[in-house]
Amino acid sequence: MRWICPLGCAVLSIACASANPDDNASTGTTDASSTAATGLDASADADGGPGSDGETGSDGETGSDGETGSDGDPSSDDGETAGPVDTSGAPGSTTDDPPPADQLPPVGAAELLPWLESLAYADWHAESGVHPSTGPHGDGVRTFFNDALRGSFDAGNATHPIDAAVVKELYGGGEIAGWAVMVKVADGEGGNTWYWYEIVGASTYADGTGVDLCTGCHAVGVDQIQTPYPLQ
């Protein structure tokens, strides 16, 4: 029968444990480090910081994948910020500006006569010089078209747009003795769509819309305009 000394076994166990103290310490440190690392990962995920997968945390910070957080910073899918939107052509926007003051004669003698006397129309498209009148407008005449009327003739329009205008200088004795003026004030055709004005010296012959004295003769023109175009 084999006999084993219990005291020797105890001594052997103690000796083995004492021979490798670093093994147990290393194991304990590794376990502690793993536990600490696990704790840090959990802390990062909990506070919303970027995790290892680059996703955004709850505090809205941007992760490594470039996605926008919950704080709503605008960005497109490719990371570029959208530029301003041009609304100049949006429905309801207005691009037609009124013509300059020198392109539109006032309607009504009180304002129109001073405007004419200042020769505000002098830069309009004009006939090359004074020539004999073919109508009842004195010894000689010279006709001026504003931009709107000239553009309408260039486009071949049968009716002219609102704000189209013509000024005719009326001469007597080699000097300006008066003016005849037409201003388009309504859509459509016919004498009633025009404002008419004529003054010679101190005598006013027309000042209003659809004046019969004028519309009777002008009915044969291109929407009441009898002056040949292009201007001579």
CA dist., res. 26 & res. 101, Å (int) = 96
What 3 state SS string does 198-218 have? EEECCEEEEEEECCHHHHHHH
Q: pLDDT for 127-176, tens place per residue?
A: 999 999 988 887 899 999 999 999 999 999 999 999 999 999 999 999 99
SS3 label, residue 139? coil
What confidence score (pLDDT) does residue 97 get? 76
Query: Given pLDDT bands bounded at 50, 70 and 90, which one contains residue 96?
Result: low
Fold classified for 101-218: Chalcone isomerase (3.50.70)
CA dist., res. 146 & res. 124, Å (int) = 5
* Residue boundaries of the structural domains of the chain: 101-218
Confirm if 70 and 58 have CB atoms less than 8 A apart: yes
Q: What is the pTM of this model?
A: 0.59
What confidence score (pLDDT) does residue 134 get? 85
Q: pLDDT for 33-83, tens place per residue?
A: 333 333 334 333 434 444 434 444 444 444 444 444 444 444 444 444 444
SS3 label, residue 88? coil
| End-to-end CA gap in the chain | 147
